[in-house]
Structure 1
Amino acid sequence: LVRLCDLSSIRGPVTDRFQIFAGTSIGGLMACALAVGIAPRRVLDAIDASGPYIFVPKPVNFFKRFIGKAPYDSYRLSEAVKQCLRQYADMPISQVDAALLVPAINWTTGQTHVFMSASLGAAHASNATLYDVCMSSSAAPTFFAPHQAGEGPMLDGGLVANNPDMLVLSEVQRRWPNEIGRVEMLSIGTAGAATPRPPEKAMKSMPGWGRSLATFMMDVQEVTASSQATRLLGSRYLRMNHLPASGEAAFERLDLADDASRSALFRASDATAQEAYKRHRAFIDRMLSPSSLTGRQ
C-alpha cells in the first residue's frame, strides 16, 4: 500500500479514501491503524522495526516445548502493537469512525468472532479496544499463546479468514443491500497464497506436516476467498499478492525477520505494486482518490 501511494503521489493518511478497512493478523493491525488515520508509511516503519524484536525465540525449555508452550513471547508482540497504534491502542473499536472489520477465533466457542466498529451497525459493534482486537487476530497458535480478551481466549483470525474479503462483502450485503453492485475492492495479500507443490512432497502423516499444515490451510482459504470475490465483483475487484516460487526461504516461514528475509519481502512487495500499478493504474488511482461511493472498500 505504501508503494501504491507513492506511485499515485498520495501522502498522509488514507482514512477518507476507503469506506471499509479490514484485515487479519498483521493485516488486522494495519487495518486498525489506517482506520484511525495513521499514515501507511508510519504503519510500515513500525511493523518493520518490530519484526526482529517480536520473533526472538524463548530460551529452550524442552519440557515446555513438549507440553505445547508457544515458542515466542506474546509480550514482545504486545509492545509492537502498542508502538504501532500509540494513543489509539485503548480506543474501543466501536468508537472508530471508519467502518472497520477484523476477524479472530474464540477458542471457547470454536466460532469466528468478527470485531466491528459501529459504522457497520451499532448492534454488531464490539467494545474491545484496538489493542485487544489486534492481539486477538494475531495470536497464531503455532507462534503465540491465545490472547485473553473480554470475549474469552482468542486465536489468529487467519485460521478461518486469512483473506477476509468475503467477510467484508457479506457485511456490505447486510448493511447496504442495494449497494453491492457499486462496490470496488482493493485486496492486498502478504505473499501467502498457495503455490504449486511437487506431488512427491505430499505429506503422508501428521508428523510430516508440522507447522506447514496450518500455513497450507490458510493458503487454501486465501485463494478461495479471492476466487469468490472475483466471481462476485468481476473487474471491480483487484487482488495484489506476490506468488513466491518454491524454495524462497523468506516466504516459507512466517517467523523469519532477519535482514535477508526482510529485504526479500520489500523487493517482492515493490515489484508486485509496480506491476499492479502498470496494469491497473486507472483502478488504483480511483481507489486512492477521496471516497465518494458508499460501497468502496
Structure 2
Amino acid sequence: MPFQILSISGGGYLGLYSIAVLASLEQSIGRPIASCFDLIAGTSVGGIIALGLAAECPAEEIKAAFEKEGKSIFSSRAAPTTRFGQWRDFGRSLFSPKYTGTALRNVVGSIIGEETLIGDLKHPVVVPTVNLTKGTPQVFKTPHHLSFQRDHLLRVVDVAVATSAAPTYFPIAEIGDELFADGGLFANSPDMIALHEAEHFLKVKYQDICLLSIGTTTTQFSFSHRTGRKLGTAAWARRLASAMISSQQLDVHYMLSHKLADRYVRIDEVQSREQERDLGLDVATDTAMKTIRGLAAGSVQKFINNSKLQDMLRNSAPAPKFFYGRSAQ
C-alpha cells in the first residue's frame, strides 16, 4: 500500500487557490480529503489549511472563511501598479508589521477552535516555522512518533499563527517564551520536509511514497538583464521575498520530480502578466478573489482525470497511531 502525503505551500491570500482546489477535490470524493493521506504538511497559509484538514474541518468551510474574512486579515486595496504606489505600500511596513494579526487568529479560531490542541487532531501533520529564540528551523508535529512529546499540548491556533507570521506582514508569534516566524523563510514548499518525515521518522521507503503538492500560483521570479544589473539595497528590499520563495519552491519541485518521478503530482498555475497586476500575497480584493477562484477551477479541470491523482483520491489511509494527547490510541 502506498504512503500518501499532501503538501500545501505558503502564499498569503493566494492560499485561497490551494483551498479552492482541495475543496473541489474533496467534493468529488464525498469524504474528508485528509482521509486519503497518511501525512499532511503545510507552511504559512498552507499550514493553516493543513491544520484545518487534519482536524477534518470541511475544505469548503475553510474556503468560505478565506473568502469572507480575507479583507479583514489582509488588504482590501488593489495591488499598487505605479512605482510610487509600490514604494508607498513598502513604506507601510518599514517600521512595523502591516497587519496586527488579530483577525488572522480569530479566523483560525473560528475554523478549528480556540482550545483545540495539536494532540486532538485526527490526522498526522507537520508544520514548519522558524524559531527566532533558538535561531533554528522548527517543525511542529502531531504525536505520530514516540519521541514527539512536546507539541501535542500546544493549541492549534498558536501553531497556525506561528507558521504564518510573515516578517513585515504580521507580528512575530510567541508560544510560551519563544518567538516564531513564518516557516516560508526556509520551507515555503514543505514537500521535502514531509518526505524526510516519512522516511526518517516513519521508516517509509521512498519507493512507496506518493506526494500531492498544492501551490499558490506564485510566479517565477525574474527580471531583465538591464534591470537586474542596477538593483541596489532599496530595490532588492521589495523583491527579496519573492526571489527567495520562487527559487526555493522551484528547487524543491525539481528534486522531488526526480526522486519520486510520476509519484509526485504538483497542482499549480502560472499567473499571466495581466493577472499579476491584480494579485499579491496580501491583496484580498473582490477581483483577486474571482481571479484566484478561476485559476483554481482551471487547475481542477486540468488535473481531475490525472490517473495518479485519481489513485490518490481513491486511497483510504489507515487510522494513524498517536502516542500522546486525546487522539492517542
TM class by smaller structure = 0.7 to 0.9
State how 1:257-296 maps to structure 2 within 5 Å.
Answer: 257-278=284-305, 280=306, 282-292=307-317
Task: Write the distance in 2 (CA, Å) between the matches of 1:292 and 1:145.
Answer: 37
Sequence identity (%): 27
Task: Write the distance in 2 (CA, Å) between the matches of 1:191 and 1:51.
Answer: 17
Are 1:5 and 2:26 an aligned pair? yes
Change (3 A) 1:153 1:237: same
Q: Which amino acid aligns with 2:311?
A: R
Task: Write the distance in 2 (CA, Å) between the matches of 1:13 and 1:95.
Answer: 17
Counterpart in the other structure of 1:110 = 135
Q: Which amino acid aligns with 2:25?
A: L
TM-score by length of 2: 0.79
Cα deviation 1:228-276 (Å, max 9, x = unaligned): 111111100001111113352233x211001011111111111122112
Provide the secondary structure at the position in 2 that maps to 1:271. Answer: helix
Q: Which amino acid aligns with 2:63?
A: L
Q: Is the 8 A contact 1:120 1:175 kept in 2?
A: yes
Task: Write the distance in 2 (CA, Å) between the matches of 1:18 and 1:125.
Answer: 23
Give, in angstroms, the shift of residue 150 of structure 1.
2.2
Cα deviation 1:195-237 (Å, max 9, x = unaligned): 5533333261120123321121011111111111111111000
Q: Is the 8 A contact 1:47 1:84 kept in 2?
A: no
Alignment length (residue pairs): 284
Q: Which amino acid aligns with 1:25?
A: S
Task: Write the distance in 2 (CA, Å) between the matches of 1:4 and 1:22.
Answer: 17
Task: Write the distance in 2 (CA, Å) between the matches of 1:82 and 1:93.
Answer: 13
Counterpart in the other structure of 1:246 = 273
Change (3 A) 1:53 1:82: same
Counterpart in the other structure of 1:217 = 244
Give, in angstroms, the shift of residue 16 of structure 1.
1.6
TM-score by length of 1: 0.87
Gaps of 5+ in 2: 1-21, 77-90, 321-329
Which fold has the larger relative contact order, with Cα–Cα distance below 8 Å and residues 6 or more apart in sequence? 2
Q: Which amino acid aligns with 2:26?
A: C
Change (3 A) 1:94 1:50: same
Q: Which amino acid aligns with 2:205?
A: E
Q: Is the 8 A contact 2:49 2:62 kept in 1?
A: yes
Counterpart in the other structure of 1:37 = 56
Q: Is the 8 A contact 1:99 1:119 kept in 2?
A: yes
Give, in angstroms, the shift of residue 163 of structure 1.
0.1
Q: Is the 8 A contact 1:52 1:258 kept in 2?
A: yes
Give, in angstroms, the shift of residue 66 of structure 1.
8.0
